[in-house]
Amino acid sequence: MKPYSDMTKEELLSLKEQLSAEYDAIKAQGLSLDMSRGKPSAEQLALSMGMMDTLSSSSILKSEDGTDCRSYGALDGISEAKTFMGAMMDAPADQIIVYGTSSLNIMYDTVSRSMTHGVLGSTPWAKLDKVKWLCPVPGYDRHFSITEFFGIELINVPMTPEGPDMDIVEKLVSEDDAIKGIWCVPMYSNPQGVVYSDETVKRFAALKPAAADFRIYWDNAYCVHHLYFDDKPVLLDILSECEKAGNPDMVYKFGSTSKVTFPGAGIAAMAASKANIAEIKKQLSMQTICHDKLNQLRHVRFFKDLDGLMAHMKKHADIVRPKFEAVLDVLEKELGGLGIGSWIAPKGGYFISFDSMPDCAKAIVAKTKEAGVIMTGAGATFPYKKDPKDSNIRIAPTFPSSEDLSKAAAIFVLSVKLVSIDKILESK
Amino acid sequence: MKPYSDMTKEELLSLKEQLSAEYDAIKAQGLSLDMSRGKPSAEQLALSMGMMDTLSSSSILKSEDGTDCRSYGALDGISEAKTFMGAMMDAPADQIIVYGTSSLNIMYDTVSRSMTHGVLGSTPWAKLDKVKWLCPVPGYDRHFSITEFFGIELINVPMTPEGPDMDIVEKLVSEDDAIKGIWCVPMYSNPQGVVYSDETVKRFAALKPAAADFRIYWDNAYCVHHLYFDDKPVLLDILSECEKAGNPDMVYKFGSTSKVTFPGAGIAAMAASKANIAEIKKQLSMQTICHDKLNQLRHVRFFKDLDGLMAHMKKHADIVRPKFEAVLDVLEKELGGLGIGSWIAPKGGYFISFDSMPDCAKAIVAKTKEAGVIMTGAGATFPYKKDPKDSNIRIAPTFPSSEDLSKAAAIFVLSVKLVSIDKILESK
């Protein structure tokens, strides 16, 4: 098949007629499929059911240091949970706080406290005229929402195949002391699946921000979510790089087991410099007495250690990898060479990022919806939900069954083709 | 024994010599006892061990409406948890949000959001010159800490046997629009065990605050923690009273199962008007995707309903009541009629509140500590940890074993006597 833009008007109209018939036939089936959110499938959730048996009424519910996990105490988590999450997140146990179930909640709370109390003695951000934040795009909608909620001005920074465009990041943070942070998903970025290169990590660690309270929010949500364990990338540890570069306090790392065990019922943690951790623990002691230590214990007893975790993640990969490959195959087979869209084949994470021709994404998502397939809303991957090019679409292949996924992918490519033909016809 | 103040200097000196010998003998035993915090004992925790078996790898982990509790969703809690917590907290299920494990965390978050975002459209409190808060005293130290943390000015309001002094509350909130809230523990108040009278609740509901965003923080922490189930008080429902009085939005109710099941691993909830709940759910959607629905399911399947909960609480009462009675017996027997302290025998909750002669509480707590008994720090029950009379001491009898409790109570009364004698001698 030749690129659509090389086709004549007549060829396009004839193709449109044929594709429309296909589309209408599928639409008539009244399907209801969902490729919108990064949720594990039922089959993946089943992998962790054994965790439900790790604690029973006959268990001794004490942590390794003797803390009774059924009562108050251990604000920053039980020691074995700190060790476990530290191993997963590449951080020393004494620089970890284990929280409740949601790393998003940790990030929200951290921004919120910075608003009301500042950071390591700085002016509370709520007292400043202006606070700004860097948002690599496309990115994670819930990150952007947090900072938008606090009235922070969001600035787009383009992503490259190596991570955020560091020339722009370096320039902006060194020039503007209103810029207080940046959202990063350094491994298998949401939605593109980009893994930050060593150079990118080192340039992050060496930033010279104008604001002393500038912080890198390093959300390593997919650090163990490899699709190809035999060929998995290695991400440089930002925490030790920041230390080496003389910026030990500049980064907060976040992670959770949300997509390892059960979303909403996992455990989440933060890693940072000792100075940051000490301040946050002090503040945290106002907010709560402790988090759920039984759930921490449940997780550690189920996985035991990093090896146990990795063995578990390989099982996830075996379920998820064929789904990614199925969607990528359909994209390649149906859209390859047509010049109406591009995508990256990720090596892990939860998403495939698709870029349509300019000004087509909203129409494509509407078109798939009309035929019964819910996609993430077009624009959702940008601050304020505004994709300046209206071209990025996030595909989440994990949740549907393989059968549903094939159908959904077929509807997606059909929608891309139909919308693209209309767009090209506008200029013919 | 006659009142100490009626004794001659010689009698007091002779008594002091005898008591000092007793004290030194106990001190020589090198005891280490703790009556400082309101923690359930191991025997109480054992009551909930069966809950560890309610979910297993063979359980269907879906809520009654089909929600998969292993994945994202149900931001405000699963429906059966809302029904259950609503029954416990005397509120309709559709006016409940079930959160994670800590009601303290809910209160902190609610104050924090009011600081950054205001309340139902009001000016964010962080943007005001001054925010003030009413603190019935003595009260709960962690309440006071939250508002102090946000730089809110704390104003003492004396407690009466019917609740906070409502003449003062009414006057202050109607005159000063900087007053944005009040901390209340309406049933078995911490530390006095006072149950707010119907008149107090009705006067709360009928408040005419100068600030439209004034809120009553109604922390019903001990709503099911009766010591005498055959003779338990009934607390009027503030939420419906506020509605009747035309102030539907003026109150937030808080509750948790922290001291019902496992502190730090229970479930917590908030109840409020539909307008408040709608606003908070919207804000909450920025903070997290959902709370731990598996723990909600675990709780509901363990208790089933309010009857199940009450049967469980009776078991708690059977363990806790003898401890309260043991301490009260020692107080009555050893201090009754001496005129050196007063206390109230509570019908529920977690504390006995003791008032020493003025300017003695710190010395008494230091004296018990010297003999190996940790009490809550004197002053802790007041804002800024400043008890103007230096007389209130909170006794927490639940955690120690009965044997330890007798020893600790003996040391306590001995310390009260010795410190009081010194105080009286000063003026002889």
pLDDT at residue B243, rounded to an integer: 98
Contacts of A68 in chain B (CB under 8 A): 42, 45
Please write the tens of the pLDDT for every residue from A335-356: 999 999 999 999 999 999 999 9
* Interface pTM, i.e. ipTM: 0.96
pLDDT band at A12, cuts 50/70/90? Answer: very high
B293 with A265: Cβ contact below 8 A: yes
A100 with B100: Cβ contact below 8 A: yes
Closest residue on chain B to A144 (Cα) = B286
In angstroms, the CA A238 to CA A186 distance is 10
Contacts of B50 in chain A (CB under 8 A): 57
pLDDT at residue B42, rounded to an integer: 95
pLDDT band at B237, cuts 50/70/90? Answer: very high
Distance from the B129 Cα atom to the nearest Cα atom in chain A, whole angstroms: 12
> B216 pairs with which residues across the strands?
B182, B251
A263 with B68: Cβ contact below 8 A: no
A288 with B115: Cβ contact below 8 A: no
Mean of all residue pLDDT scores within chain B: 97
Looking at chain A from residue 252 to 271, which residues have their Cβ under 8 Å from any Cβ of chain B?
262-265
Distance from the A114 Cα atom to the nearest Cα atom in chain B, whole angstroms: 11
Closest residue on chain A to B149 (Cα) = A286
- The residue of B259, B287, B291, B398 whose CB has the most chain A CBs within 10 angstroms, and thus the best one to mutate to test that interface, is B287
Closest residue on chain B to A109 (Cα) = B287
- Identify which of B16, B12, B78 has the alpha carbon closest to the alpha carbon of residue B299: B78
Q: Are B419 and B24 in contact (CB under 8 A)?
A: no
Please write the tens of the pLDDT for every residue from B154-184: 999 999 999 999 999 999 999 999 999 999 9
In angstroms, the CA B341 to CA B4 distance is 11
Looking at chain A from residue 134 to 163, which residues have their Cβ under 8 Å from any Cβ of chain B?
142, 145-146, 149-150
A105 with B287: Cβ contact below 8 A: yes
Please write the tens of the pLDDT for every residue from B114-133: 999 999 999 999 999 999 99
pLDDT band at A37, cuts 50/70/90? Answer: confident
Please write the tens of the pLDDT for every residue from B334-343: 999 999 999 9
- Identify which of B295, B287, B88 has the alpha carbon closest to the alpha carbon of residue A291: B295
Report which residue type is found at A136.
P
In angstroms, the CA A152 to CA A174 distance is 18
pLDDT at residue A335, rounded to an integer: 98
Distance from the B400 Cα atom to the nearest Cα atom in chain A, whole angstroms: 14
pLDDT at residue A1, rounded to an integer: 74
B289 with A263: Cβ contact below 8 A: yes
pLDDT at residue A426, rounded to an integer: 94
Looking at chain B from residue 302 to 361, which residues have their Cβ under 8 Å from any Cβ of chain A?
none
In angstroms, the CA A189 to CA A353 distance is 10
Please write the tens of the pLDDT for every residue from A68-105: 999 999 999 999 999 999 999 999 999 999 999 999 99
User: How many beta-carbon pairs under 8 angstroms link A with B?
Assistant: 154
Distance from the A2 Cα atom to the nearest Cα atom in chain B, whole angstroms: 43
Closest residue on chain A to B292 (Cα) = A265
Question: Mean per-residue pLDDT for A217-224?
Answer: 98
Please write the tens of the pLDDT for every residue from B409-423: 999 999 999 999 999
pLDDT at residue B37, rounded to an integer: 85
In angstroms, the CA A323 to CA A330 distance is 11
Distance from the B26 Cα atom to the nearest Cα atom in chain A, whole angstroms: 28
Please write the tens of the pLDDT for every residue from A246-296: 999 999 999 999 999 999 999 999 999 999 999 999 999 999 999 999 999
pLDDT at residue B391, rounded to an integer: 98
Please write the tens of the pLDDT for every residue from A376-424: 999 999 999 999 999 999 999 999 999 999 999 999 999 999 999 999 9
Please write the tens of the pLDDT for every residue from B139-158: 999 999 999 999 999 999 99
Question: Mean per-residue pLDDT for B311-322?
Answer: 98
pLDDT at residue B284, rounded to an integer: 97
**What kind and span of H or E run contains A375?**
strand A373-375
B116 with A126: Cβ contact below 8 A: yes
B322 pLDDT higher than 80: yes
On whether any CB of chain B is under 8 Å from the CB of A49, the answer is: yes
Distance from the B32 Cα atom to the nearest Cα atom in chain A, whole angstroms: 18
> B133 pairs with which residues across the strands?
B154, B181
In chain B, the percentage of residues whose pLDDT exceeds 90 is 98
In angstroms, the CA A360 to CA A268 distance is 37
On whether any CB of chain B is under 8 Å from the CB of A129, the answer is: no
Closest residue on chain B to A49 (Cα) = B57
Question: Mean per-residue pLDDT for A113-136?
Answer: 98
On whether any CB of chain B is under 8 Å from the CB of A291, the answer is: yes
Question: Mean per-residue pLDDT for B245-259?
Answer: 98
Distance from the A113 Cα atom to the nearest Cα atom in chain B, whole angstroms: 8
Q: DSSP class of residue A100?
A: S
B204 pLDDT higher than 90: yes
Minimal Cβ distance to A291: which of B37, B53, B101: B101
A134 pLDDT higher than 90: yes
Please write the tens of the pLDDT for every residue from B348-370: 999 999 999 999 999 999 999 99
Distance from the A269 Cα atom to the nearest Cα atom in chain B, whole angstroms: 14
pLDDT band at B428, cuts 50/70/90? Answer: confident
Joined together, the tokens standing for residue A393 give 């679409």
pLDDT at residue A182, rounded to an integer: 98
On whether any CB of chain A is under 8 Å from the CB of B71, the answer is: yes
In angstroms, the CA A277 to CA A239 distance is 13
Contacts of B299 in chain A (CB under 8 A): none
B45 with A59: Cβ contact below 8 A: no
B303 pLDDT higher than 90: yes
- Identify which of B146, B154, B153 has the alpha carbon closest to the alpha carbon of residue B130: B153
